[in-house]
Amino acid sequence: MLIDPVLNLIPLEDSVRLVAKKYLYMMSIGLVPLFLYSVLRSFIDALGKTRVSMFITLLSAPINIALNYVFIYGKLGFPALGGVGAGLGSAVTYWLILIIAIIIVYKNKPFSELLIFKFWRKPSFAKMGTLTKIGVPIGLALFAETTIFSAVTILMSKYSTEVISAHQIAMNFTSLLYMIPLSIAMGATILVGHEVGAKRYKDAKTYSWLSVGTAVFFSFISSSILLIFRELIAALYTDDQYVISLTVQFFLFAALFQLSDAIQAPVQGALRGYKDVTVTFIMAIISYWIIGLPTGYYLATYTSFERFGYWIGLIVGLTVGAITLVTRLIYLQKRVTKNDA
């Protein structure tokens, strides 16, 4: 019901709009298995078996490619569906990885020992409330963090095509580098959560700061890559010299917020291990949307920084977020230690 109104807001040709509508219909077939798989993946990760999740995720890529090829071009007796086939291929892939995850959890240790598919009980609204209380702020914090970059891209649409292209290239490669601190943050959540649950608060503190130190170490490597190979990296995306020169300048700003990213991501992960999520969400909103984005808009609109003002705003927002989150983690660890004593 909502697809047509949303698509009508986007300036698309009628033929493209029709394909997009059917594509979304096909993708919706895979939403339920995608959500169920996300639950199983979190269950697997919580037991520290992240390699299993990695195996399933890596396996999904060739499956999706093969199914897209079959449905898009009409192979093995199927009709050629074009762009709609890509949506169907992804939906079928979600069902297959859900089935694979169920088989692994059902048959392999340590998952099978927990018998999660047996002895089903009535839904516990109290436990559902606990999950919601923890999960919703985490989701909103991630939403606040990721959408700030989308908002910046939208605000930069007033600039030339070359500027937008350079911005997207720099953002794309920076997002790739962010996967390292993000993965460390996920590991910190699991390890800190285990130690806090076992009331080993000293070990939880050690894992917290070890994750930060590891991410900071990698941030220096990431910054060095951006600074030393910025022209070569930009040339991988385009051969337009003007776009390359702009991308190189954006990379300089991207290198600056690698450190802030490396601090705030694992600290957020550690705080989630302590189940401290509501304050983290509030800090994310304030840092990114109340401080970072307005700062970037002001610098881009009213100063000579122009297009680079938004990136400076991102740096400011990430830095404020890193400082406040570190302060919160130190306070929380002191409080936990005091209460335990």
Interval 143-196: pLDDT, tens: 888 888 888 887 887 888 888 889 989 998 988 889 899 899 999 999 999 999
pLDDT of residue 13: 67
Are both 244 and 311 inside the same structural domain?
A: yes
pTM, rounded to two decimals: 0.81
Average pLDDT over residues 257-283: 90
Are both 191 and 50 inside the same structural domain?
A: no
Element (H, E) at 260: helix 258-273
Q: Does residue 121 have a pLDDT over 90? A: no
Are both 71 and 159 inside the same structural domain?
A: no
pLDDT of residue 48: 83
Residue 136 lies in a domain: yes
Assign 7 a pLDDT band (cuts: 50, 70, 90). low
155 alpha-carbon distance from chain centroid: 21
Q: Does residue 340 have a pLDDT over 80? A: no
pLDDT of residue 320: 92
Q: What is the mean pLDDT of the chain?
A: 88
Q: Does residue 258 have a pLDDT over 90? A: no
Find out whether 268 and 280 touch, Cβ atoms under 8 Å: yes
Q: How many domains does the chain have?
A: 2
Residue 33 lies in a domain: yes
Would you say the C-alpha torsion 279, 284, 287, 291 has a positive or negative sign? negative
Residue 119 lies in a domain: no
Residues in the chain: 341
Are both 38 and 165 inside the same structural domain?
A: no
Higher pLDDT pick, 159 / 317: 317
Range of the domain at 75: 3-114
Within 8 A by CB and 6+ apart from 23, the residues are: 83, 84, 86, 87
Task: Give the domain-ending residue among 81, 114, 147.
Answer: 114
Tell me which residue of 94, 96, 93, 116 sits closest to 44, measured CA to CA: 116
pLDDT of residue 144: 86
